[in-house]
Structure 1
Amino acid sequence: MPSFDIEESVGFKLAKAHQRLFSLLGELLKPYGITSKQFALLAFLWKQDDLSQTELSERAEIDRTTLSGMIDRLEKVGLVKRMPSPEDRRAYLVKLTQKGAALEEELTELALQVRKDLFSRFAQGEYEQLCVLLDKLRR
């Protein structure tokens, strides 16, 4: 029977790398009252505001139930608001508030600093290569 070393498995290594990245970013986001996952939703809205909850769920690859709770928490801290969709009265659009939009530059800078710190040991081109390989795994 072939042996399996969990610590050498791709899944384990990806999970631990993800935990480290989100932990580092999460520490920097604490003063803003948001988590790394909530930051990701804001980043999708900074790319394109006024997304339906369904569109945001698909882009972020988060199930709609989980997304709904995340949006609730972002609404609570005043970073987004739900607006009725003009095209579909059963749907809501998620829109950045002025406060949420104003945080784009500051929070993006934090995320870029985490990236710089985390990947500082990579040789030139390795970050880009890693992104290509991760994209292959996602498909």
Structure 2
Amino acid sequence: MTPSKLTAESAANQPFLATLRELVQTYQAFCAYEEPHIRELGLTSPQFDVIATLGNTSGMFMNQLAEKTLVTKGTLTGIIDRLEQKGFVRREVPPENRRCFLIVLTPEGERVFNEIFPVHISYLKERFDQLSEQELEEIKASLKRLREIF
């Protein structure tokens, strides 16, 4: 399917642009609310994302971690390096596949997860509690539908 030809004027008047703008502004507002709190907890948002994703697991391979986080594969290695330097994660080479690494939370990483994950979720809950269960379901369904078309 080839895109239809639009003029600059007709492109600027496409109805979906208002929705796109609202989506971006919502994400920016969320980040502006969330990121300072994560910084107060001593992490960057991507570091928190990795620790939260690894929490309550026995570890994940890099490709799994990249799929489940909001972090690109290219950025993930640097984040893992920094978390490793802080003593929060370690790389393990599984005996059955020595070509890849399993990323595992260390005991210190588990402590950090158990300490800061509930605190941050409580912080976010204050805002999300302003929505009904039905509203949350509708938003989730709409966002899922939007993701599916891409």
TM-score norm. by structure 1 comes to 0.80
Larger Rg: 2
Structure 2 residue 26 is the aligned partner of structure 1 residue 17: yes
Describe the SS at the equivalent of 1:94: strand
Percent identity reads 28
| Number of positions where the alignment pairs a residue of Structure 1 with one of Structure 2 | 138
Distance 1:76-1:16 versus aligned 2 partners, 3 A rule: farther
**What displacement does 1:4 show?**
3.1
CA distances 1:26-75 after superposition (whole Å, capped 9, x unpaired): 21222333122221211211142321111111222643211111111221
In 2, the alpha carbon distance for the partners of 1:58 and 1:104 equals 20
- The gaps in structure 1 that reach 5 residues or longer are none
Describe the SS at the equivalent of 2:55: helix
Describe the SS at the equivalent of 1:48: coil
Question: In structure 1, what residue type is equivalent to 2:136?
Answer: Y
Match of 1:96 in 2: 105
In 2, the alpha carbon distance for the partners of 1:137 and 1:49 equals 32
CA distances 1:55-111 after superposition (whole Å, capped 9, x unpaired): 111222643211111111221222111112222212111000111111233322233
In 2, the alpha carbon distance for the partners of 1:89 and 1:35 equals 30
Structure 2 residue 31 is the aligned partner of structure 1 residue 31: no
In 2, the alpha carbon distance for the partners of 1:19 and 1:111 equals 18
**What displacement does 1:120 show?**
4.3
Structure 2 residue 48 is the aligned partner of structure 1 residue 44: no
Match of 1:131 in 2: 140
TM-score norm. by structure 2 comes to 0.75
Describe the SS at the equivalent of 2:97: coil
Distance 1:84-1:124 versus aligned 2 partners, 3 A rule: closer
Structure 2 residue 117 is the aligned partner of structure 1 residue 111: no
